[in-house]
Amino acid sequence: QVQLVQSGAEVKKPGASVKVSCTASGYTFTRYAIHWVRQASGQRPEWMGWINVGNGNTKYSEKFQGRVTITRDTAANIGHMELTSLTSEDTAVYYCVRDFEHCTGGSCLGYWGQGTLVTVSS
């Protein structure tokens, strides 16, 4: 079965960077896009961007453009999301999410990792 296992919780100081990892199993890694979505406590989810795992192409939300980098390691079946210049507003749970196979013609968020809490505090 499809599984996405994320790296552990992080505590960062303002101005620092964080890199969250997502290890995929149970399917052909290069076949489906990986998205990153974050959710602050009590707030709605917020889509950050995605990567075409097959060719490495990325698309980012303009809100995070310049601060976020999504990459993948196809040899290890791992996706990464790095966010720089952190502020307290970036405190949230970060999720990696795989495309749902039946959203043909589009893309929707079918398989979610367990989430990684990133806390930004001085």
Partner 1 sequence: DIQMTQSPSTLSASVGDRVTITCRASQSLSRWLAWYQQKPGKAPNLLIYKVSSLRSGVPSRFSGSGSETEFTLTISSLQPDDFATYYCQQFNSYPWTFGQGTKVELK
Distance of alpha carbon 47 from alpha carbon 56, whole angstroms: 18
Given a contact cutoff of 8 angstroms between Cβ atoms, the answer to whether 78 and 23 are in contact is yes
Locate 62 and state its tokens. Answer: 């303009």
Contacting positions for partner 1 (CB under 8 A) = 44-47, 59, 61-63, 95, 100, 102-103, 106-110, 112-115
CB of 122 to partner 1, least distance (A): 26
CB of 38 to partner 1, least distance (A): 11
User: Which CB sits closer to partner 1, 11 or 108?
Assistant: 108
User: Which CB sits closer to partner 1, 105 or 122?
Assistant: 105
Distance of CA 92 to the CA centre of its chain: 12
For the chain, helix, strand, coil in percent to 5 are 5, 50, 45
CB of 11 to partner 1, least distance (A): 19
